Amino acid sequence: MTEGPLSDLIVLDLTRALAGPHAAMMLGDLGARVIKVESPAGDDTRGWGPPFVGPEDAQESTYFLSANRNKESLVLDLKTDDDREVLARLVERADVLMENFRTGVLDRLGFPVERLHELNPGLVVLSITGFGHDGPEASRSGYDQIAQGEGGLMSITGVEGPTKVGVPIADLVAGMNGAYGVLAALHERSRTGRGRVVRTSLLAGMVGVHAFQGTRWTVAGEVPGLAGDHHPAIAPYGLFETGTAPIQIACGSENLWRALCAALGWDPAEERFASNKQRVANRDELIAALEARFADGPAEHWLAALAEAGVPSGKVRTLDDVYGWEQVKSQGLLLDVDHPTLGAITLPGSPIRFEDQPFSGGRSQHVAPPTLGQHDREIRDWLDL
């Protein structure tokens, strides 16, 4: 057992790819015992690459490593009676079961929700689908890029045309939504003694993050277009070229606008830019004026001047720069773990940090993602099999 706020929980992770594994990993980071049930072929992401790392006969996908820390791996062939019985024994002991099969697959394997709750009335079941468990398109499989497009996110992302986010954001958001839904159901169980089914989808996650872009349509009747590198409702708020490299500025209030003008030697009451409404209406002129001013010096000069003026600003870092940044290290966002075949590796850490811990997540010790079937014998012994 490991320490952590969820260290009394057992989670069965029947998911593969990213949305479900990410949800299970979030609970594992907080101390839950997560048993990842894999088919004999393993999670799909074990084959997603390059890059692959490690010895030629035991290579690991870095994609798999990103979503499966703090888990144990058990191989089960759920098409066989013996392994379905193993799963039934696990269900009896578990607090949470997570699955992202297509609707109806778990039923056909012999584990409809009714049977799961017969085996364990307190079980919380998380079901993640692509487009929802019901409705006219429930049978569609869920892939991140498809969901980004169908859920509208790509229509507001990009400069010259629709662009997907650089990470599988539909999967990640669905996983986060699933994890907090599970925690809500567990809290309810503490009062009722009974579990329930939590459902979410990649589509729901995409619609759920529309924020002000969503209400532009539902309330104001405006169809948002590509947002590019500038905020559609605030100016100046975006990416600006300087003499050497782009910088970002976020003037989210009139006080910040005045501070920016003071740093640049501008009149904040200049007619075209005197209010945020005017600045948004004259955005192209404002961008051109700012970039003409910023061309006079390197990015470092302007970042220092803006910081001194109290104007929120920053650079655009590459990932090697991010992971070498002392601020990232100070927040415990890098985890050093010992992998059974790769040895010592560093992983991006949990975004959750507790005040009495120097690292991310709620565990006293983090564990590397497992090799396929690494814990088969250990788990079967625990089940007396």
Dist. CA 337–CA 235, nearest whole Å:
44
Number of C-alpha atoms within 13 angstroms, CB side, residue 364? Answer: 4
56 belongs to a structural domain:
yes
Q: What pLDDT was estimated at residue 222?
A: 96
In Å, how far are 18, 101, 182, 193 from 89, measured between CA atoms? Answer: 26, 20, 21, 20
Dist. CA 284–CA 302, nearest whole Å:
20
Count each helix (H run) and each strand (E run) in the chain, helices first: 16, 13
Same domain, 179 and 299: no
Strands 60-61, 124-129: pairing kind: unpaired
139 φ, ψ (degrees, to nearest 5): -80, -10
In the chain, pLDDT over 90 holds for what percent of residues? 93
With beta carbons less than 8 A apart as the criterion, state whether 79 and 106 touch.
no
Q: What pLDDT was estimated at residue 177?
A: 98
Same domain, 105 and 171: yes
Same domain, 81 and 202: yes
Mean pLDDT of 347-374: 89
Mean pLDDT of 2-10: 90
25 belongs to a structural domain:
yes
Q: What pLDDT was estimated at residue 2?
A: 62
User: What CATH number does residue 197 fall under?
Assistant: 3.40.50.10540
101 belongs to a structural domain:
yes
With beta carbons less than 8 A apart as the criterion, state whether 348 and 342 touch.
no
Q: Which of 171, 267, 284, 320 is catalytic?
A: 171
| Residue 277: pLDDT over 60 | yes
Return the number of other C-beta atoms located less than 10 Å from residue 66's C-beta: 17
Mean pLDDT of 35-40: 98
Tell me the per-residue pLDDT of 181-223, one tens digit each, with 9 for 90 and over. Answer: 999 999 999 999 999 999 999 999 999 999 999 999 999 999 9
**pTM for the model:** 0.94
Q: Could you give the number of structural domains in the chain? A: 2
Q: Indicate the residue type of 80.
A: T
Same domain, 85 and 124: yes
Of the three residues 285, 315, 345, the one that is the final residue of a domain is 315
Task: Respond yes or no: is residue 171 known to be catalytic.
Answer: yes
Q: What pLDDT was estimated at residue 356?
A: 77
Same domain, 71 and 103: yes
Same domain, 88 and 169: yes
| Domain limits for position 311 | 247-315
pLDDT band at 57 (very low <50, low <70, confident <90, very high): confident
Q: Nearest CA to 62 among 372, 342, 318, 328?
A: 342
